[in-house]
Amino acid sequence: MPYQRVLLKLSGEALGDPQTGHGLDTDAVKRVAAQVAHVASLGVQVALVCGGGNILRGAQFSELGTNRASADYMGMLGTVINGVALSEAIEAAGAPTRLMTALEIREVAEPFVRRRALRHLERGRVVILGGGTGNPFFTTDTAAALRASELSCEVLLKATKVDGVYTADPKLDPSAERLPRLTYMQVLERGLKVMDGTAITLCMERGLRILVFDLFREGNIERAIRGENLGTLIQA
């Protein structure tokens, strides 16, 4: 395997209703869990960060009048709900897990401690990281870049609904072209909506590769880890 330790970033919508992206859809959770458990069975160390947009987006909720910091904490709790669902589903699919959170919720999960997370990975457990960074105003993309850096992951796998980064939205512009390779600076300069600027900058500073690929094609997580040519690779 080209990659031995990876961080998988999922959107909350990947676990939601296939039509709306809202709530938790049992079949969607099981499909993702089966792919993750299979990859873990191959001996790859997997850390996982999931967004909470299927439950609540702090930035959007704050537009209704809620204080932004409070709205972001609500979003962080949404990621913990998703983390519990993923933990149960991945274990049911045959892989041991540990849910760790940036917010301390000891009855639900372990608090995130870097050395403890590394020990879990080395023992073959899928480490699910909830609660974002634990701070408001930061996205779960930034949390993924931060945790991947802390845990010395070799690549950040950004799983999406499309098969890579395009010159425009392929759903709106049929002439949009997929970009198989990009540099961090090209993403920032072109304003490509891959991850937020803070996450891209952190990956650039750490030299952390980002692979953007289609989650919904069966087996793509394994293909990504095997280094097959798919999606868009972002690197120096």
126 beta partners: 97
125 is in an annotated binding site: no
136 is in an annotated binding site: yes
178 is in an annotated binding site: no
Q: Is the pLDDT of residue 38 over 80?
A: yes
Could you tell me the pTM of the whole model?
A: 0.94
Q: Which two tokens stand for residue 130?
A: 């909830």
20 is in an annotated binding site: no
Q: Which residues, 6 or more positions from 131, have their beta carbon under 8 angstroms from its beta carbon?
A: 76, 77, 79, 80, 101, 102, 103, 105, 112
- The CA distance from 188 to 85, in Å, is 34
pLDDT-derived band of residue 181, with 50, 70 and 90 as boundaries? very high
137 is in an annotated binding site: yes
Strand, helix or coil at 119?
helix
130 is in an annotated binding site: no
86 is in an annotated binding site: no
Assigned fold of 5-235: Carbamate kinase (3.40.1160)
Query: One-letter amino acid identity for 89?
Result: A
In DSSP notation, 132-193 reads TTSSTT--HHHHHHHHHHHTT-SEEEEEESSSSEESS-TTT-TT--EESEEEHHHHHHHT-S
Per-domain boundaries in the chain: 5-235
Q: What is the pLDDT of residues 79-121, one digit of tens each?
A: 999 999 999 999 999 999 999 999 999 999 999 999 999 999 9
- The CA distance from 58 to 78, in Å, is 10
140 is in an annotated binding site: yes
pLDDT value for 236: 92
Percentage of the residues of the chain whose pLDDT score is greater than 70: 100
233 beta partners: 181, 211
Q: What is the pLDDT of residues 125-137, one digit of tens each?
A: 999 999 999 999 9
End-to-end CA distance of the chain: 22
166 is in an annotated binding site: yes
Q: What is the pLDDT of residues 144-153, one digit of tens each?
A: 999 999 999 9
